Structure 1
């Protein structure tokens, strides 16, 4: 069977040798006269026109859904809108669609142009040696955090050779967060790059001088000295962004693929766990124009990194505040609770970007998630239990109890027990017994105490002592408590054999 090119050739030969008419040539070769005229006009067949308006039946049922996603993107953050690839991925993963990515791309391209979306940028490809360079940048995204739409800051470190990016989120873009996330990134990569490129962040650069000269902050120099890598800085402004295009593109790509649509999380820890899982999953992707996956390229690069120092860099600040009369310490204009026994004493505080750790006499006595902003208070109910033993009436309206409820650490069955105790004993005694129940969590696992409360309610034993008996009887798996052994001699003398009820049973039998 002839190709169209060969068919044109034969038509031209027959016309040249035999002088046949257009009609005769059309009948001989079984083509339309229009095709004969085209062959006689040029030896090259005209390019085929792309079909217009093809129905794409497999995509048909999903077109309204795609349109809805694109319409919803009008209200979404500018940098967290759907790309054609993300739409195709969601159709396949969430709706089981059997449709080609190119089909989705063609449809989305047309819809976006009709909606006035801007055309994408053009980038210059780069070549890098393994283990030599990496790039760092901050990005932003929006998430629903504990039910509130929140702007988060995304820290990225991306090797220029492999593209195996590390990403974690922070509520603030401070120097302390910047340094701590460097430490986490180096730990995740398992080594240190020879050079890291930055875009003049204030966390690292105090002043930009002429050319490439910079006045760097002392804390950043200490970090660089600890890990012994070199720092390079881009030109200020938009021109400098093109000097680290790898991480600039990574910020947008990662955000579109892992944070679209806007996700919801209960805590920052949950968010960062998802981001880290996304980093691991992205090792399986293949960058356009590369023969190997990101993970395979990273396997080549990883052995070439500088080994980590024996000890990680300590990015935390320290303070030694005094505990006030409410058992709170003030750190950076926010207050955090400590055990009441430390009231009036000075304690040591380690101030991290995410966590506040309080120590006394070398022992950690409190940990709090660091508060953002000013004049906030973080209180832990356990820190006040000794005081509440003496003042149980302060439990109901305490700040620590309210925050325990907000954090989800106060089970609903505790309120049921409290209400039953109030009916039976009155408010004051009920509060005292609830404090006793809370103190059980120092002896037993909190889950075990919760099960004991549920058991007491189920049995109708509305008493704090019943909860204590149940908590000590069995652990959360239902196994009985081990027998007491190796008692002190002064207690062992009181040991008695188990009572024999034989005579009692005989007496009952005779009475009947």
Structure 2
């Protein structure tokens, strides 16, 4: 092509400068007069014509190939003819071997498109779309595996993405049920500080749709609680077409789930709890504000800052995303929720309670009073038991504490600390097993009204001075709370100021009495009083001389010695 362009340029220059005729130009440059005329008409040489190959050897079987391709219009997608299958059928069924495989392949490639286009099944065309700021968002779930407390567990990644800016919110839940679906929306609305004003795009997922009405456009029968949720927050849903054909209608979030999983959840994350993982996801979402999508000039954070004013406000009133259940409390003070069991205070045994089952926790209510909160148990058949729920019955049955499930889980979670164990061991040495365990339970009851750190400080102080009683722990815990400023309840403003508060400590009198004067406890002087004596009390006896000697045995009457 380059040499022909140069030839055309020389011909045009000679004609322009020297005024040569077509015959003379053809003779000088050694070309035909047709080429000269083409050069004089246009500086760009005409494209080279590619001859159309006609596969004459296929003429006898073209009608057979066309029939096979037409049959494919009604066949399942995975059972349509491949080129190899067509080539094999021509040879096996019709004895045709007059054409090569490549010849059949070239004909099928062109003819298949013509037949599908004639039946209205041509390639789908996508029209570029513009998304107004604050108008639309997309939501989807994706599978993700997590090493949860050392166990590889299948979880679900919730993704919410604003269509205009690309700002996305991600959360991982142990389920993709409706409670996780609603909770993910609430978290997303809180993060972006608003609600899309036009609509949010969804698959036909069962958390929102109970029935797809075919033939009725995008009409759906929706879940009643989902209708209540979107009515509360004031947004409209947009349901995509069922199946793969509707995936492109929310292609932004479809690609977002995979991109986020590859970049942040690979390799498989290892965490102790989903709360820990979701804390990391919040940090990763914030770091995404500096990312640029495609060839955009602005970052995600810059586009989101411009989009935020167009979002609808979030309602002031909250919405409980939990699934409401009403199980009965069994004789072990446990309720069954889905495939797990959770404890409640023993005073509710035999009664029905109301449970709000959320994606990451469950809340148990008696009427409107919250009586228990547990993290949601992922393991099938698992138990979540709190020691505090059994303290009243353990005070009556102290022997049940050492082997109880509640104590085992309290130790594992760190609620029952080594300080508690040390106090329990010390008090059992002095008071015995039953009385010592009851004393420990009195200490555990302090956690209901005092901060856990203050109670542990009180236990440590009681062990230090050798006064292992619940009263001493309470006094020392209150002193620690005053120093830390964690005292619960109203504060008397008329009392002395901080400079006037007198600090009191529990002291061991035995330790103080025999202390070395060089290391006196709490700055007190050594006790130099003599040891107590009973001499003064002995003087008060009626017969002091006889008090030291035993009385003689009197003789019996009637007997002579």
The alignment's TM-score, normalised by the length of structure 1, stands at: 0.65
CA distance 1:135–1:391, change in 2 (3 Å): same
SS in 2 for 1:474: helix
1:176 corresponding residue in structure 2:
179
Alpha-carbon distance between aligned partners in 1 of 2:285 and 2:157, rounded to the nearest angstrom: 13
Match of 1:285 in 2: 291
**Structure 2 partner of 1:135:** 138
Which residue does the alignment assign to 2:372?
A: 366
- Aligned-pair distance for 1:202? 1.9
Q: Distance in 1 between matches of 2:469 and 2:238?
A: 67
How far off is 1:402 after superposition?
A: 1.5
Paired with 1:483 and 1:421, the residues of 2 have a C-alpha distance of: 35
Distance 1:318 1:198 in 2: 24
Alpha-carbon distance, 1:311 to partner: 2.3
Q: Distance in 2 between matches of 1:228 and 1:468?
A: 51
The C-alpha deviation readout for 1:43-69, integer Å capped at 9, x for no partner, is xxxxxxxxxxxxxxxxxxxxxxxxxxx
Aligned to 1:97: none
Can you list the C-alpha shifts for 1:90-115, whole angstroms capped at 9, x where unaligned?
Answer: xxxxxxxxxxxxxxxxxxxxxxxxxx
Are 2:415 and 1:412 equivalent residues in the alignment? no
- C-alpha displacement at 1:458, in angstroms? 4.0
For the residues of structure 2 that align with 1:143 and 1:232, how far apart are their CA atoms? 31
- Within a 5 Å distance, the mapping from 1:18-167 to structure 2 comes to 127-167=130-170
Q: In 1, Cα distance between the equivalents of 2:323 and 2:464?
A: 50
2:380 is aligned with 1:377: no
Cα RMSD between the aligned structures? 3.2
Shift in CA distance, 282/348, structure 1 to aligned 2, threshold 3 Å: same
Secondary structure of 2:280 counterpart: helix
SS at match of 2:481: coil
Cα distance in 1 for residues equivalent to 2:477 and 2:219: 66
Distance 1:314 1:420, change over 3 A: closer
Per the TM alignment, residue 201 of structure 1 is displaced from its structure 2 partner at its CA by 1.5
For residue 416 of structure 1, report the CA deviation from its aligned partner: 2.7
- Relative distance call for 1:285 and 1:406 in structure 2 (3 A) is same
Contact 1:190 1:307 (C-alpha < 8 Å) held by counterparts: yes
Say whether 1:276 aligns with 2:276.
no
Structure 1 residue 189: Cα displacement:
1.9
**RCO higher in structure (CA 8 A, sep ≥6):** 1
* Change in CA separation of 1:473 and 1:134 when aligned onto 2, cut-off 3 Å: closer
Distance 1:275 1:238 in 2: 29
Deviation at 1:447, TM superposition (A): 0.9
* CA contact 1:340–1:387 (8 Å) conserved in 2: yes
Q: Superposed, which structure 2 residues align to 1:164-243 within 5 Å? A: 164-193=167-196, 194-208=198-212, 209-210=214-215, 212-243=218-249
The answer (yes or no) to whether the contact 2:451–2:486 under 8 Å persists in 1 is no
Corresponding position of 1:427: 433
Choose which of 231, 249, 257 in structure 2 pairs with 1:251: 257
Deviation at 1:373, TM superposition (A): 6.2
5+ long unaligned stretches in structure 2: 1-125, 496-525, 531-561
Residues 205, 214 of structure 1: 8 Å contact kept: yes
* TM-score, normalised with respect to structure 2: 0.59
Deviations 1:263-300 (A, max 9, x none): 22222222112112221221122222111111110111
Q: Is the 8 A contact 1:334 1:371 kept in 2?
A: yes
Mapped to 2, the partners of 1:461 and 1:310 lie a distance apart of 52
Q: Equivalent residue for 2:343?
A: 337
Separation of aligned partners in 1, 2:459 and 2:528: 39
Instruction: Give 1:446's match in structure 2, choosing from 441, 449, 452.
Output: 452
Q: CA offsets per residue over residues 91-140 of structure 1, 9 Å max, x none?
A: xxxxxxxxxxxxxxxxxxxxxxxxxxxxxxxx997542212211111112
1: CA distance between counterparts of 2:137 and 2:527?
A: 85
- CA distance 1:480–1:342, shift in 2 (3 Å): closer
- C-alpha deviation, 1:181, in angstroms: 1.6
User: Cα deviation per residue 1:7-47 (whole Å; 9 max; x = unaligned)?
Assistant: xxxxxxxxxxxxxxxxxxxxxxxxxxxxxxxxxxxxxxxxx
CA drift at 1:314: 3.6
CA distance in 2, matches of 1:249, 1:479: 50
Which ranges in structure 1 are unaligned for 5 or more consecutive residues?
1-122, 487-503
CA contact (8 A) 2:156 2:176 kept: yes
**Contact 1:473/1:480 (<8 A) preserved:** no
- Deviates most, 346-355 or 296-305: 346-355
- Cα distance in 1 between the residues matched to 2:268 and 2:482: 38
Q: Specify whether residues 205 and 478 from structure 1 end up closer, same or farther in structure 2 by C-alpha distance, changes over 3 A only.
A: closer
Q: Deviation string for 1:276-332 (max 9, x for gaps)? A: 222122112222211111111011111112222342444333344443322223334
Query: Alpha-carbon deviation of 1:153?
Result: 0.6
> Aligned pair in 2 of structure 1 residues 219, 475: CA closer, same or farther (>3 Å)?
closer
